[in-house]
Amino acid sequence: MYAAADLAGTMKMQYDITSRIIRMPCTARLDINFILKALQEGADGVLVVGCHPGDCAYRTGNLGAERRVRFAKKLIEQLGLDERRVKMVFVSAAEGDLFAKEVNDFGDEIRAIGPNPIRL
């Protein structure tokens, strides 16, 4: 949710400086290959932030994205990576504080896991 990230910035909330935001029109457009490519290119983790269930402008687009994230977690586990490197959370546009908290928590979790071993 780019709006939540923007609100967090407007509220001068600090969130993990190692994170990189990639804006998408909706998590409904999320493809498993985006997650796998990010990990292949060296990302230590991928956090997908979508609208709360029932709030998606495309009805159930965020629920489809959640299914794809679960599938991606299974795939990366089969590749020998820790499935915690991929996570999806639900945040509304008005929850800048929750956005910052989720990003910070995920950053801490990824640092505890360690760097991505398949960095190419």
Domain definitions of the chain by residue range: 2-113
pTM: 0.88
The answer to whether 14 touches 100, Cβ cutoff 8 Å, is yes
pLDDT by residue for the chain (120 residues), tens digit each?
556 665 666 676 777 778 888 888 888 889 999 999 999 999 999 999 998 888 877 778 889 999 999 999 999 999 999 999 999 999 988 888 888 899 999 999 999 999 998 865
Output phi, psi for 71, to 5 deg. -65, -40
Q: Which residue in 59, 66, 64 sits closest to 87, CA to CA?
A: 66
**Which residues, in sequence order, are CB contacts of 101 under 8 Å at separation 6+?**
none
Output phi, psi for 110, to 5 deg. -65, -40
Say what the pLDDT of residue 4 is. Answer: 66
**Which residues, in sequence order, are CB contacts of 6 under 8 Å at separation 6+?**
96
